[in-house]
């Protein structure tokens, strides 16, 4: 696991896989990990109410995405296709 972050409410931890190809959620109550996003991602962070996780999809079709902490399909918050991303993991 890489770059873990506690949720503001203290109920969950998010972390990326070492190869940054998955986003995991650890539930403190159940003491278990689940995969909530299965594609290249980086810079995951929590919403202030712990309901959502925001992260960057950057290799193909770059965008800022939001996903519910309960899982589901991510939503594009900001399309970054017209922006040149530089300095991300040596790119």
The residue behind tokens 């399909």 is 73
Instruction: Name the average pLDDT for the chain.
Output: 88
At residue 85, the pLDDT reads 61
Decide if pLDDT at 48 tops 90.
yes
Mean pLDDT of 65-85: 88
Kindly provide the residue ranges of all beta strands, DSSP E only, lying in the chain, ordered along the sequence: 2-6, 12-16, 23-27, 32-37, 42-46, 52-57, 63-68, 75-79
What pLDDT was estimated at residue 88?
A: 56
In whole angstroms, give the CA distance from residue 36 to residue 39. 10
């Amino acid at each position: 696991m890489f770059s873990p972050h506690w949720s503001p409410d203290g109920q969950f931890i998010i972390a990326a896989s070492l190869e940054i190809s998955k986003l995991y959620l650890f539930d403190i109550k159940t003491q278990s990990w689940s995969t909530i996003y299965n594609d290249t991602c980086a810079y995951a962070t929590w919403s202030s109410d712990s309901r959502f996780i925001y992260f960057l999809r950057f290799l193909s079709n770059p965008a800022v995405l939001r996903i519910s902490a309960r899982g589901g399909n991510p939503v594009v918050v900001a399309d970054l296709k017209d922006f040149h991303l530089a300095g991300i993991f040596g790119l």
